[in-house]
Structure 1
Amino acid sequence: MPKSRNDLNDNAKKTSIGVLQACLTDSIDLYNGTRQAHWNVRGPNFRSLHLMFEEFYNSLATDIDEIAERLVQLGGTANGTSQSVASGTTLPPFPTDLHAGDKLLAAMLERYTAVAKSLREGIDTTDEAGDADTADLLTGISRNVDKAVWMMEATADR
């Protein structure tokens, strides 16, 4: 681990770095899937879904940057290459043959709820390790992901 003057104990740093890297990997994969949905959505709700997916990936871009920067602050190395994301994601592959808005919403909801769950687990893990700052960061990101889930669920219920 590269040196960091952050005064968290080494166990808290190592725990948080592991959690943050897992969240980074899944968030980048989720970002890529959201872009895929944004680019390829078709159907009667095209405009609203296209714009909603764009809002989501813009939010994810900011969150991804915050995760990566916290990881580095703790002395880790943020691994966000295509190869590391492909080999480390816990999300199922995003289907590239989807175009209908309802099918894309279902695929997006599956992935967003999985990321929301892992963020909440990361909050608990980093808090228990003594890293309140990382737990707080993940809490904010969890709220963003939960809001996206809510918006997609409300849209799907039409």
Structure 2
Amino acid sequence: MSLKKFGRSVGNALYRQIGRTNSRLQNHRSLPVDVLEDDTSYHVVFDAPGAEPDDVQVRYLEGNVKVRIDRFRQFHEGYEMRFPGRGMGLSGEAELPADAVVDPNAGTARLSETGTLSVEIPKGSAIDDGGADTADGLEAADESDAEPEPDTDTEPVAIDD
């Protein structure tokens, strides 16, 4: 093996290892999230790049909105993977305010074309049965439930109970 080929081989091995390390870091880093509130609901927005609706799991548990995304790499005919830098398993969590009273069973989740996951959870009344704030699950959004962001299409996300 020539010195040039050896150098190229070592460079390729290092490049792939850097990609794998970057991918692992993404798997352990929480997704960016915003928590918004109005008079009637909480709106939790996650960045979910490259996700499809079937890749997304959303749960509400004890005041926290938890998201898990299992993405898949598309196979590109004729190409070799040189730098596997994107994490395939992503997760995030958002804590609602401690005094939040919500109805998680009426919650909706939508995934935009641009990879924004929007979870809306209506506020419950303080005189509800008390179990609403610890319920486990959200409903998937109907097409008429929410107005999509301008110039973006959204799809309902199936929510695990």
Same fold (TM over 0.5): no
* Higher-strand-fraction structure: 2
TM-score by length of 1: 0.26
RCO higher in 1 or 2 (8 Å CA, sep ≥ 6)?
1
